Amino acid sequence: MNVRRTLAAALLALAPFAAHAQGAVNQDYRFLTFAVFGAIIALTMYVTYLAARRVKSASQFYAAGRSVSGIQNGWAIAGDYLSAASFLGIAGLISLYGYDGFMYSVGWLVAYITVLLVIAEPCRNIGKYTLGDILAFRNKPKAAKTVAAISTITVSIFYLTAQMVGGGVLVKTLIGIDYEVSVITVGVLMLAYVVFGGMVATTWVQIIKAVLLVTASVILVFFTWMPYGFSLPGFLDAVVADPKVQAQVVKLIGDPAAQMSASELGQRFLEPGLYLKNPIDQISLGMALVLGTAGMPHILMRFFTVPTAQDARTSVIWAMGIIGGFYVLTLFLGLGAAINVGAAKISSIDAGGNMAGPLLAQYIGGGESSLLGNLFLAFVAAVAFATIVAVVAGLVLASASAMSHDIWVGVVKGEHATQEEEVRAARVSSVIVGVLAIAIGILAKGQNVAHLVALAFAVAASSNLPAVLLTLYWKKCNTGGVVLGMLVGAFVAIALVMVSPNMTYPLAVKATAQKTIDATPAKLEKANAELAAAVDDAARATAQKALDKANADLKAAQGKLEQFKDQTTSLVGLEKPLIELRNPGIISIPLGFLCVLLGSLFYRDKRAEEMWDELYVRQNTGIHAEGASAH
Amino acid sequence: MSRSTMNWAAIDRDPRFQELHRRKAGFLWTLMAISVAYYFALPIGAAYFQDLFKVKVWGPINVGLVFALSEFIVAWGIAWIYARRANTQFDALAAEINANAAGMGGGR
C-alpha cells in the first residue's frame, strides 16, 4: 500500500494551479488556504495509512469491521451527508432570499426520521454490506442484486457528477485554481482514501470533515451573533433594519415595493415567497428528500459499520443532532452574510449565493485586507474542499461495493470468492468508479448540474426506498415487485427530469440571448452618456462598470447564439418542456410503490414467501445479525 | 457465530414476539405519520396561509419563523421519544426473544 506515493501525487496535483485565475481568496493569502488544506490532507492521509494496514478482509473494506461506535458513526453520517451544497448553498439561499432558504433546509433533517424509524435498525439486522444484500435476503439473490447495483450506481453517478462539477466550480470561485485541477485533486485524494483505506479511512475522513465543518460554523455564528448579545429578536431587528436587506427585497419583489415602508421591506425578508414560488414543486422535492435519504446507498452503507442495531439507532440520533444543529446555524450564517456582506456583493461573485459563508468569514475576521479575515476565509475554503472530498469518497465506496460485492461476487462468481479476491475486486472497482467520476467531472464542465442532486434523491426515493420498505414490511413482496418497481421508479424519475424545465432548451436560450443583444445599443448609449457626464472619479467608475457589463453581456449572449446556432431542441428532442414540474418525486415515488405492489401480486415467488418469517423475526430481534469482526 | 437453523415460524408465533410486534408496529407508523404530516404542513402553510405566517409574535419573529424552527424541535422530539421507547422496551423484549429463540417450537 503505497500511501506516501499517492500523497505526493495529490500534492503535485495541487501545485500547478493557474496563477492568473482569481478567486474569492486574495492572491496574497492563497498560501493560507493551501496550508490549511495541506494540514487536512496530511491528517487524513495519516489516518488512511493506519487504516490501510487493517483493511485485509471484505468486512474491513466495506464496513470497517463493524467496529465503528454509534457516536463516531453519527459524525460520519453527518460528514457523508452535509455536502458543499448544504454547507455553502443553503447559507447562500438564506443570504439572498431570507425565509425561503431556511424553509428549504428543514427537509434535509426531517429525512432522518424515516431513516431512524423504519430503515436503520432493520437494515443493520438483516444486511451485510450493500443495498443488494438487503434486497437479496428474501428475493431471488441474482435478480435483486443486479437491479440494486444498477440503481446504486445510477444514484451515485448523478450525485457524484453534481459533487464533482459543483465542487470544481466552487473551488475555482473560492481559490481560483483551475477547474480541471480541482476535479483531479478531489478525484485523486478520494481514490487514495477509498482504495487504500476502504470504509475505515472513509469513515475517519468523514468524521474529521464533520468536526471541522461544525467547528467553523460555530465560530462564525458566535462572532456574528455576539454583537446582538445573543438575542434572537435583537439579531432579527438588525436584519429588518438593514438597508442592504431592504434593497435586496426591492430587487426581488419589484413594483409592489414602492408602496412599502423601509421596515416593511426588511420584515418581508423574514416572510415566505421570495424564492420558492411553486408549492407543488416544493412538496415534490420534500417527498424526494424525506423518502430518498433513507434509500441513498452511501447512507444505508453506514449502518453496516456499527456492531449492533442499537448502535445504528444511536448513530442516527447523533447524526440528527449534528445535522439539525448545523442547519439552525446556517440561519445565522445566511442572515449574518446578508447584513454584513450584502446580497449584491455575494451574488456578484456567485449568482447562486455560494460565497455567502466564505465572505462572512472574511468579514468576521476583519475584512478583505486583514490577515485574520483572510485566515478565516482560507479556513472556510479549505473546509469546503474537504467537504467535497468526504462526500465523494462515500459515494465512490457505495458504487464500488455494488460493483464488486453485488455484481462481481454475487452475480458473476455466484458468491464464491475468497476474502483476498473480494477485497482486490473492491479496490479495482473503486479505481474504475473514481476514474469515471474524474472523467465525467471534466467532460461535464460548464454544464448545469444543480438539478442532479434533487434527481439523485428522487431516484433513490422512487426506486430504492419502495423496494427496501416493502421487502422489510410487506409479507407478499417478492422478486417480481422489487425488479419492476426499481426499474420503473428510476426510469420514470429520470424521464420526467429529461422533459422538465431543468433541461436546456436552445430556442428559449436563443430568445433570451437575442433580447439581450437587442437591448445592448440602448444600454451602451446610456452608459456612454453617463461616462461623458461624469464629474468625479466615483461616477466615472460606476459608468465604466455599467459599460463593461453591457459589453460582457453582449459577448455572452453572442456566444450563446453561436453555441446553439444549429440546435432547436433539447437533449431529448423537445422544443419546450413537456411538464412544468422540476422535481419528479410526486409522480415517480407513488409509481415506484405501485409497481412493487403490482409486480409482487402478479409474480409467484415461493422463496420470498417462505423467508418472510425469518426476515421479520430477524429484522426485529437481531438474531443472527452480522457481528463485529475481530481484527 | 453458530448458524444453527431456527424455527422462524415458531418464533414468529411466540407470544413474546407477537408482543414486540404489536407494541412496535403501531408506535413506529404513528410517529412516522405525525412527522410527515407536520413536515408537509410547512410548505403548504407557506404557500397558502401566508397572512398567518406573517403575523409577528415576538419582535420581528413571525409565525412562519416559529413554525420553521418548531420543525427542528418536533423532529428531535420524535427521535427522542422513539429512542427512549426503543431503549427501555423494545431492546429488552428483543433480548429476551433472542435468548430463548433456540428453544422456541422445539427448533434447533
A174 and A322 share a domain? Answer: yes
At residue A459, what is the residue type?
A: V
A441 and A515 share a domain? Answer: no
Query: How large is the average pLDDT for residues B53-62?
Result: 90
CB contact under 8 A, B28 and A117: yes
A148 and A243 share a domain? Answer: yes
Q: How far apart are CA A407 and CA A225, in angstroms?
A: 52
Query: Which residues between 12 and 51 in chain B have a beta carbon less than 8 angstroms from any beta carbon of chain A?
Result: 12, 17, 20-21, 24, 28, 31-32, 35-36, 39-40, 42-44, 46-48, 50
Query: Is residue A298 over pLDDT 50?
Result: yes
pTM, two decimals, is 0.90
pLDDT of residue A625: 86
> Taking a C-beta distance cutoff of 8 angstroms, is the pair A615, A133 a contact?
no
**Which residues lie closer than 8 Å to A365 by C-beta, 6 or more apart?**
A372, A373, A374, A375, A376, A377
pLDDT of residue A629: 65
Q: How far apart are CA A585 and CA A116, in angstroms?
A: 21
Query: Is residue B3 over pLDDT 60?
Result: no
pLDDT of residue A13: 47
Q: Which of B9, B48, B60 sits opposite A236 (nearest CB)?
A: B60
Within an 8 Å CB–CB cutoff, is residue B57 touching chain A?
no
Distance between A613 CA and the closest CA of chain B, angstroms: 6
CATH code, domain with A92: 1.20.1730
CB contact under 8 A, A112 and B53: no
In a domain, A122, yes or no: yes
CB contact under 8 A, A321 and B44: no
Domain that holds residue A263: 3-447
Per the structure, the count of domains in chain A is 2
Q: How far apart are CA A218 and CA A216, in angstroms?
A: 6
A9-50 confidence digits (pLDDT tens): 544 444 444 334 467 777 777 888 888 888 888 998 998 998
A161 and A265 share a domain? Answer: yes
CA A108 to chain CA centroid, Å, is 11
Q: Degrees (nearest 5) of the Cα angle A38, A42, A47?
A: 150
Q: In the listed set A421, A447, A473, which residue is the last one of a domain according to the structure? A: A447
Q: In the listed set A518, A537, A563, which residue is the last one of a domain according to the structure? A: A563
A435 and A533 share a domain? Answer: no
CB contact under 8 A, A239 and B60: yes
End-to-end CA distance of chain B: 15
Beta bridge partners of B61: B58
Q: How far apart are CA B46 and CA A280, in angstroms?
A: 12
A406-446 confidence digits (pLDDT tens): 999 998 888 888 888 999 999 999 999 999 999 998 988 87
pLDDT of residue A4: 52
Which residues from A are below 8 Å from B53, CB to CB?
Answer: 271-272
Helix axes A279-292, A99-114, angle to 10 degrees: 30
CB contact under 8 A, B62 and A613: no
Query: Is residue A161 over pLDDT 60?
Result: yes
Q: Is A576 left (phi over 0), alpha (psi -120 to 50) or beta?
A: beta
Q: In the listed set A412, A431, A447, which residue is the last one of a domain according to the structure? A: A447
A407 and A549 share a domain? Answer: no
Distance between A270 CA and the closest CA of chain B, angstroms: 7
A202 and A347 share a domain? Answer: yes
Q: Which of B8, B58, B59 sits opposite A613 (nearest CB)?
A: B8
Give percent of chain B above pLDDT 90.
46
In a domain, A168, yes or no: yes
Query: What is this model's ipTM?
Result: 0.93
In a domain, A279, yes or no: yes
| The three cell numbers locating residue A370 | 486583514
pLDDT of residue B4: 56
Query: Is residue B46 over pLDDT 50?
Result: yes
A342 and A436 share a domain? Answer: yes
Which residues from A are below 8 Å from B46, CB to CB?
Answer: 99-100, 103, 272-273, 276, 279
Which residues from A are below 8 Å from B65, CB to CB?
Answer: 99, 102, 236, 270
Q: Which of A107, A613, A620 sits opposite B9 (nearest CB)?
A: A613
Within an 8 Å CB–CB cutoff, is residue B65 touching chain A?
yes
**Weakest mean pLDDT among A277-286, A582-591, A621-630:** A621-630
In a domain, A238, yes or no: yes
Query: Is residue A225 over pLDDT 90?
Result: yes
CB contact under 8 A, B98 and A236: no
> Taking a C-beta distance cutoff of 8 angstroms, is the pair A400, A430 a contact?
yes
CB contact under 8 A, B24 and A279: no
In a domain, A580, yes or no: no
In a domain, A582, yes or no: no
pLDDT of residue A69: 93
A111 and A257 share a domain? Answer: yes
How many C-beta atoms surround the C-beta of residue A4 within 10 A? 10
Q: Which of B36, B68, B76 sits opposite A290 (nearest CB)?
A: B36
In a domain, A578, yes or no: no
Query: How large is the average pLDDT for residues A83-105?
Result: 87
In a domain, A436, yes or no: yes
